[in-house]
Amino acid sequence: MHLHRRSFVKYASLAAAGNIAGLKPFGALNALAQSTPDYKALVCIFLYGGNDGNNMVIPFDTAGYGNYKALRSAGGSSIALDQKILLPLGFRNSGYALHPSMPEVCNLINSGVAGVVANVGTLLQPTTRDQYLNNQAVSPSNLFSHPHQQIEWQNAARDGSTPTGWAGRIADSMQNVYNVGAQIPMITSMSGDTVFCNGLTSTPVSVVPGHLSGAGCSEGSECATRLAAAQSLVTLTSGVSLVTADNSITSDSYKYLATLNSATTGLSNLQTVFPASNGLASQLKQIAQIIQARSTLGVNRQIFFCGLGNFDTHSSQLDLQAGLLSQLSAALNSFYQSTVELGVQNSVTTFTMSDFARTFQPNSNTGTDHAWGSHHFVVGGAVKGNAMYGTFPTIALAGPSDSGSNGRWIPTTSSSQYASTLAQWFGVPTSSLGAIFPNIGNFSATDLGFMGGQSV
């Protein structure tokens, strides 16, 4: 399930949410800190539907794999992967391997430019199994629900009522510090309007990969006429404040698309080959092209959002997840190689998020059901790679890590801690973390250590 809110223009819109009318002026207030204008970018890949991290990062030692195989066959069907086809991770004493569809990510990890963050989820405070079962800890609302958990990963809040995302709040605070005079917003979405991108005083630009010259159209000679008509409509004054504001946002979207198209036109073609027939690769290629134009656009900080789905594998999981993880792995590798080509591999960090994991115990349809904590990747030259961060869950049904009896792991790392580590590398000072991540004060560690040079 892929959650989107309404768009004002198909293929070209600015997300609108955050004040009482749901509309915000472009720009940022409340700069947080003085800084130097070095370039950095964060790239979020959201795995919609709830990726099964349990079959993505797998215990590889003899005892650990044996336990994995037994429990992944405990629900009337088996989704255990054969140990012979797993891809061993090479960091010291790892004892873990990756899904066989991810050779490129395995190579990135083993070469030191990617890492694994284990058992991350929407957690409001450190929580044990006993605390959870006895309602002694504050838990996120609507756990195991696709739309709610997608939003709560993106807004770093307790529930879906917070209309701003943590990336949007970073943009609110940093636009006037790093991107003074920039020609586009700090945030660009390749996957429609999302809470993640929305700030109170800043708005993202949303584009469709390959359509920077304007909205997608399949009606031949009629396209130019239809686009001109749409652009003229937004200049009309209705006298209704909400409609006028919507028109202003839509008009800005055309302006930003024109700016992006102008900035990227004439750039040398990237030599990095991105896989064909791979929607995520298309999104990441467009991001690489926009990064290539960073000087022309006047940006020193950028955040990008893209998505891949559908990971909601209630049945036939082995085949479905294999195809999706193959796309993810190939696209991640090509994007990293493109940053090397552009000389910005140390300045661009890519990371995954997802609704939640899947139950460790399979269901009777060779699939899995909604769960909680999962494993994620961070990729980039600034990542302290070839390592696992966080605490891997105890793989035992109804064990100390289980929120029930079928392997819904209680996260040992909060999604806010995960995001906070990325934010500090990006330039958010520690004194401002509470304003962006309202629950971060409940955790002793705000920096998980997987990024280099975070201190501000």
DSSP code per residue over 59-107: E-SHHHHHHHHHHTT-SSS--PPPGGG-EE--STT--EEE-TT-HHHHH
Beta bridge mates, 383: 451
Burial of 41 (0-12, 13-18, 19+ CB in 10 A): buried
Nearest CA to 98 out of 388, 360, 394 is that of: 388
Secondary structure (3-state) at 430: helix
pLDDT tens, position by position, 58-68:
999 999 999 99
Burial of 59 (0-12, 13-18, 19+ CB in 10 A): buried
Taking every pair of Cα atoms in the chain, the longest distance, rounded to a whole number of angstroms, is 71
pLDDT at 349 over 70: yes
Q: How confident is the model at residue 228 (pLDDT cuts 50, 70, 90)?
A: low
Burial of 49 (0-12, 13-18, 19+ CB in 10 A): buried
Give the pairing of strands 205-207 and 12-13: antiparallel
Instruction: Over range 219-226, report the average pLDDT.
Output: 50
pLDDT at 32 over 80: no
pLDDT of 37 reads 56
Beta bridge mates, 409: 402
Q: Are 150 and 129 in contact (CB under 8 A)?
A: no
- Whether 374 is in a domain gets the answer yes
Lowest mean pLDDT among 31-45, 292-306, 439-453: 31-45
- Whether 266 is in a domain gets the answer yes
pLDDT tens, position by position, 129-150:
999 999 999 999 999 999 999 9
pLDDT tens, position by position, 359-405:
999 999 999 999 999 999 999 999 999 999 999 999 999 999 999 99
Q: Residue 196: which residues within 8 A CB-CB, separation 6 or more? A: 44, 46, 153, 154, 155, 165, 166, 167, 168, 305
Q: Are 307 and 2 in contact (CB under 8 A)?
A: yes
pLDDT of 76 reads 80
pLDDT of 193 reads 86
First vs last C-alpha separation in the chain: 38
DSSP 8-state symbol, 141? T
pLDDT of 430 reads 94
- Whether 344 is in a domain gets the answer yes
Give me the CATH number covering residue 343. 3.40.720
Please count the structural domains in the chain: 1
pLDDT at 229 over 70: no
DSSP 3-state helix, strand, coil percentages of the chain (rounded to 5)? 35, 15, 50
**pTM of the shown model:** 0.87
* CA pair distance 361, 365, nearest whole angstrom: 12
DSSP 8-state symbol, 294? H
Give the pairing of strands 348-354 and 374-379: antiparallel
Residue of higher predicted confidence among 11 and 265? 265
What is the number of alpha carbons within 13 Å of residue 157 lying toward its C-beta? 17
- Whether 438 is in a domain gets the answer yes
Which residues form the domain of 400?
39-221+260-442
Give the pairing of strands 87-88 and 187-189: unpaired
Instruction: Over range 103-118, report the average pLDDT.
Output: 97
pLDDT at 250 over 80: no
pLDDT of 110 reads 96
* CA pair distance 55, 134, nearest whole angstrom: 30
Instruction: Over range 90-103, report the average pLDDT.
Output: 90
Q: Tell me what the pLDDT averaged over the chain comes to.
A: 86
pLDDT of 225 reads 53
Share of the chain above pLDDT 70, in %: 82
- Whether 10 is in a domain gets the answer no
- Whether 180 is in a domain gets the answer yes
Q: Are 177 and 31 in contact (CB under 8 A)?
A: yes
Burial of 266 (0-12, 13-18, 19+ CB in 10 A): exposed
Residue of higher predicted confidence among 449 and 26? 449
Instruction: Over range 250-257, report the average pLDDT.
Output: 76
Tokens of 113: 């430019």
Q: Are 197 and 15 in contact (CB under 8 A)?
A: yes
Instruction: Over range 22-43, report the average pLDDT.
Output: 50
pLDDT tens, position by position, 397-429:
999 999 999 999 999 999 999 999 999 999 999
pLDDT of 253 reads 76
Q: Are 376 and 86 in contact (CB under 8 A)?
A: no
pLDDT of 118 reads 98
- Whether 242 is in a domain gets the answer no
Task: Assess whether the previous peptide bond of 310 is cis (omega < 30° from 0).
Answer: yes
pLDDT of 221 reads 52
- Whether 190 is in a domain gets the answer yes
pLDDT of 452 reads 87
